[in-house]
Chains A and B, each alone.
Chain A
C-alpha cells in the first residue's frame, strides 16, 4: 500500500517536472544573471531618487546663475526697486511683486468663504451619496480647465462685466482690465485646492468629539463652529496656503486679464503685472541684464512658492499624524 502511494507520487513528480531540465552550469549562469539584473534594477531605482534631487537643485542653480548679472548689478535692493525701466536698463521688482501679492491675496480673500463652505458642506453636511460625489467631482473639474481658457473667457465675459461695475462706481479709468478682474478669475481657479483638502480634514474629525457636543445639546452649527472648525484649523489653513501657492505662480489667465502695465498698482482696479505675467510677456525678446532680471523674478517666485508649499505640507503632515 505504502509502496503504491510512493509510486504514484513519483509518477506525479515526473509529469510535473519541466520537460527541459537545466544542467547545473546553466542554472548557475541563470541565477548569476538574475543577480546582476537585480542589482542593476536597484541601482536604477536609487539613481531615480538621486535624479529628482539633482533636477530640483539644477533648477534652483540655473535660476541663480541666470540671475547672477542682475544680482550683481542691483543687489538685494532689486526687490524693492520701484521702477522697471527698459529704456535706461534699470530694473526693480517692486511693481511686479506688489502686483503679485495684491492679486494673490485678493483672490485668496474672495475664495476663502467659498472654499470653506464647500469643505463644510462636503465634509460635514453631506459627506456621502451620489449628490456630494457629483459636487465634489464638478469642483475638481474647475481645476482641470486650462488657464488659457479661463483667460479667454475672462477677456470676453468678465472684462465687460467689470467695466460696468467700474462705471457704476465712477472710477477714473474704466477699461475693465486690471488687478480686480485677474483676482476674480484667480479666485475661481484656486477654490478646488483649498476645498478638497478642507473636505478631507473635516471628515477626519473624530465622531466621538462631535457626538459629545451633540449630547450636550449643541445645534449642528454650534458643533461646526465650536468643535469641527477649531479641530481642523491647521488643516484648513494648510489648504489655504496651498491655494495661495497656486495663485502666486498662475500665469496665463492673469497675463490676459491684468492689463499689463509696469506701474505700481494704486488701487485694486488699476492695471498692473504679476511676476509670472511679466516673465511671460517680456522674456521672449529680452537680452542681457533684462533677461537676467526676469530670471531673478523667476528665482523670487520659485523661493516664495517653495516656502509656502513646504509650510503647507508640513502643517498637513502634523495634522494627519
Chain B
C-alpha cells in the first residue's frame, strides 16, 4: 500500500516535470515560426535596390524602402541624443539621493512612465506640438526619447548602486570635486551597464509604431530634415503597406515590400538585443 503510494507520488512528480518542460519549450515555437516565416517570405525581396530606392506606385519596377531606413535611423539617433544625457544624469541623481522627497517622487514617476502605453505618449506629443509644427520627425524623436528614458534611468541607477562606495571615497580623499568623481570615476566604471541599458532602449524603441503614427507621420518621400515635414520610418512603412490594397502575385507589391522591410527591422532589432546580451555577459552586468 505504502510503496504504491510512493510510486504514485514519484510518478506524479515526474509527470509534472514533463508537463512543465513541454509548456516551457512550447513558447519558443511561436518565436521560431515567426522568425522562419518572416525570413522565408521576406529575404527574397531584399536586395541593394530595395535598400536604397524609395517609394514607387504599385506596378513600377524596383521600389525600395530607402526613405524609411534613413528615417528610422535619423529619428532613433535624434531620440538617443535627447534621451541619453537626460537619462544618465537622472540615473545618477536617483542613485546619489536615495532618501530625499524629490528622489522618491522622481523614482515613482519613472515607474509610471515605464508603464505608459506607447500610443498615449504619441497623442500627448501630438497635443504639444502638432498645432504649431504639424507632422515632423523631431516630434517622433521626442516620443521615442520619452520611451527610452525609463530604461536608461533604471539601468544607470542599478549599475551605479552596485559600484562599491570606496571608489567614490577614494576620489573625494584625493580632493576631487563631486562632478569629477561622478564623470571621471563612477561613470567610466559603470559604463558597460549604462551602455547595455542604452542599447536595450534603442532596440526597444526602433520597432515602435504607435508613438510615431501621429508625430513623425507617414511619408512616401526621402527626407533628411528632422525639423520639418513628415518622415517615414520602417515600422510605419510596414503598417502603411499592410493597410494598402495589394496583389499577392506581384513580387513588388506593397505586402511583399512590407515583408522585406520586416526582415530588415527584425534583423536589426534582434542583433541589437543579442549584442546587448553579450555585453552584459562579458562584463557581468546585472540589469
Question: Least Cβ distance of A260 to chain B in Å?
Answer: 11
Q: Which B residues are CB-close (under 8 A) to A221?
A: 12-13, 15-17
Nearest A-chain residue to B235, judged by Cβ: A148
A:213-266 near B, CB below 8 Å: 219-222, 224, 245, 248-252, 256
- Asked if A152 contacts B258 (CB within 8 A), the reply is yes
Contact, CB under 8 Å: B123 / A283: yes
Task: Tell me how far the C-beta of A292 lies from the nearest C-beta in chain B, rounded to whole angstroms.
Answer: 11
Interface residues of A in 36-75 (CB under 8 A from B): 37-38, 40-42, 44-46, 48-53, 55-59, 62-63, 66
Q: How far is the CA of A91 from the CA of B275 in the complex (A)?
A: 47
The chain A residues found within 8 Å of chain B, CB to CB, are 34-35, 37-38, 40-42, 44-46, 48-53, 55-59, 62-63, 66, 113-114, 117-118, 120-122, 125, 135, 137-142, 144-153, 155-157, 188, 191, 195, 219-222, 224, 245, 248-252, 256, 276, 279-280, 283-284, 294-295, 298, 301-302, 305-306, 308-310, 313
Instruction: State whether A251 and B93 are in contact (beta carbons under 8 Å apart), knowing that A145-B207, A153-B37 are contacts in the complex.
Output: no
B21 at the interface (CB under 8 A from A): yes
User: Is B173 interfacial (CB-CB < 8 Å)?
Assistant: no
A sample of 27 cross-chain residue pairs with beta-carbon separation below 8 angstroms, ordered by A number, consists of A40-B179, A49-B90, A49-B106, A55-B109, A56-B112, A57-B109, A59-B113, A120-B20, A121-B20, A121-B23, A135-B25, A135-B28, A145-B269, A147-B210, A148-B235, A149-B34, A155-B242, A248-B117, A251-B119, A256-B239, A280-B119, A284-B213, A294-B123, A298-B120, A302-B120, A306-B116, A309-B114
CB of B162 within 8 Å of the partner chain = no
Bound: A284/B135 CA distance, A: 11
- Residue contact A45 to B92, C-beta cutoff 8 Å: yes
B46 to chain A, nearest CB (A): 15
- Supplied contacts A145-B34, A146-B207, 8 more A-B pairs, CB within 8 Å: A38-B178, A53-B102, A144-B270, A145-B266, A151-B239, A152-B259, A224-B16, A301-B119
Is the Cβ of A219 less than 8 Å from the Cβ of B13? yes
As a 0/1 sequence over residues 117 to 145 of chain B, the CB contacts with chain A under 8 angstroms (1 = contact) are 11111011011100000000000000000
Residue B61 interfacial (CB < 8 Å): no
Knowing A42-B178, A135-B28, the reply to whether A148 touches B124 (Cβ < 8 A) is no
Interface residue SS majority, chain A: helix
B273 — which chain A residues lie within 8 A by C-beta? 140-141, 144
Q: Is the CB of B102 within 8 A of A50?
A: yes
Interface residues, chain B, with chain A CB atoms under 8 Å away: 9-10, 12-13, 15-17, 19-21, 23-28, 30-31, 33-34, 37-38, 41, 86, 89-90, 92-94, 96-97, 102-103, 105-106, 109-121, 123-124, 126-128, 146, 149, 153, 177-180, 182, 203-204, 206-210, 213-214, 235, 238-239, 242, 258-259, 262, 265-266, 269-270, 273-274, 277
Q: Across the interface, do A310 and B112 meet the contact criterion of CB distance under 8 Å?
A: yes
Q: Taking CB as reference atom, which chain A residue is nearest B89?
A: A48
In the complex the two chains form, is A295's CB within 8 Å of B27's CB? no
Contact A142 B123, beta carbon cutoff 8 Å: no
Which of A150, A219, A222 has the largest number of chain B CB atoms within 10 A? A219
With A51-B86, A309-B114 in contact, do A222 and B13 touch (Cβ < 8 Å)? yes
Q: Are A59 and B121 in contact (CB under 8 A)?
A: yes
Q: Once the chains are docked, how many angstroms separate the CA of A100 from the CA of B96? A: 40
Report, nearest first, the 6 A-B pairs whose CB atoms are least far apart.
A249-B117, A146-B207, A309-B115, A117-B23, A41-B179, A221-B13
Contacting residue for B106 out of A53, A135, A156, A306, CB 8 A: A53
What is the CB-to-nearest-CB distance from B130 to chain A, in angstroms, rounded to a whole number?
11
Residues A279 and B123 in contact, CB atoms below 8 Å apart: yes
Q: Are A306 and B119 in contact, CB atoms less than 8 angstroms apart?
A: no
Q: From residue A160, how far is it (CB to closest CB) to chain B in Å?
A: 13
**Once the chains bind, are B207 and A149 in contact (CB under 8 Å)?**
yes
In the bound complex, what is the Cα–Cα distance between A157 and B33 (angstroms)? Answer: 10
CA distance A114 to B111 in the complex (A): 26
How many angstroms between the C-alpha atoms of A40 and B89 in the bound complex?
Answer: 13
Shortest Cβ distance from residue B18 to the other chain A in the assembled complex, whole angstroms: 11
Q: How long is the Cα–Cα vector from A256 to B262 in the complex, in angstroms? A: 15
